[in-house]
Amino acid sequence: MDTTPYETFAREKLGLTFHDINLLVTALTHRSYVNEHKQFEHNERLEFLGDAVLELVTSDFLYHKFDKPEGIMTSWRSALVRTESIGDAGHELGYEPLVRLSKGEKNGVQRAHDVIIADCFEAVIGAIYLDQGYETAKKFIEKHILVKMSTVLEDDSWRDPKSTLQELAQHRYAITPEYHTLKEFGPDHDKTFEVGAYLGKVIVGRGTGHSKQLAQTTAARAAVNFINHHPEKIPLTPADKDK
């Protein structure tokens, strides 16, 4: 096969020249493609390796950068390496046009594609590690994942949004938040839910997701952001003002 697009991608997007470009090709090859083209290898073994390297580099960074308890650092690590985060990094680098999928998988829902891109991101880490060594893989992770640490801290995305909203609402307004489904749309196999987070009768956040639980989490995150940045827009009397 012509590996020129992969060599160009590696050079221009990753800033690397692979000794064995087939490692990158394999990293971007989904299992479904191999079902139709038996002569190729899929990326799951590289994904397994890349996941381990990603976790090690991230853990080492947090250990040496912050003097915090294990529980907090575990939550920070989870926020940095969760599927959404690494999937976003893969999209930013432009993986999608080079990912080899079966014809059926190409027509799949976007949610499935996002997971595939995240898996490919880990597989590419595995490919870089094998081809270039640990230090190069570490620099790649630092540039595309660890750089997001300041954002994780600023927006509290490492905390469980529902727990954070409950603590915030009870402290400021002496009220427990509730969640109500506003609407559902899409086919049964790919349904999307829109949920509102309420303090009493006041809606303070909206969120969507492919499950009610995910939509609630998204709504809670939006509500925390709204309460912290626009408290004057919430027509409730904070409990601590009554003291």
Which residues are catalytic, by number?
51, 122
Distance from C-alpha of 22 to C-alpha of 131, rounded to nearest angstrom? 10
Judge contact between 104 and 35, C-beta under 8 A.
Answer: no
Nearest to 189 by CA among 118, 115, 117, 109: 109
Q: Are 99 and 30 in contact (CB under 8 A)?
A: yes
Residues in the chain: 243
Which alpha helices (H) appear in 145-235, and where do they start and end? 149-155, 161-173, 212-229
Query: What tokens were used for 34?
Result: 């191999």
Q: In what order do the strands lie in the sheet with 178-185?
A: 178-185, 192-199, 202-209
- As a whole number of angstroms, the distance between CA 137 and CA 123 comes to 11
The two tokens of residue 39 are 């002569």
Q: State how far the Cα of 155 lies from the Cα of 140, in Å rounded to an integer.
A: 24
